[in-house]
Amino acid sequence: MKNTHICPKCGGSDLVRIEGKVNQYGNVVLTGVTVFSAVPVQRYVCCSCGFSEEWFDEEHLDQLRSAFQ
């Protein structure tokens, strides 16, 4: 959905991106022990069927690799 702007489940194009935020309600992955190590997860949601995907921005991939490899 991120790249095609089309839902792979229903073929819909009514999509929204929900930004990951570093707070108590945000969608993040901690790569260390503090909130300063948090990497936000971007969510893409199809408003036609409810299907969602989660993506990390490219700038955080090395940080994730280092923490979990």
Q: For the chain, report the end-to-end CA distance as a whole number of angstroms.
A: 26
According to the model, what pLDDT value does residue 25 have? 67
pLDDT tens by residue, 39-55: 999 999 999 999 999 99
pLDDT of 10-68, one tens digit each? 999 999 999 888 776 678 899 998 888 899 999 999 999 999 999 999 999 999 999 99
Rounded Cα gap, residues 58 and 53, in angstroms: 16
Tell me, yes or no, if the pTM score tops 0.95: no
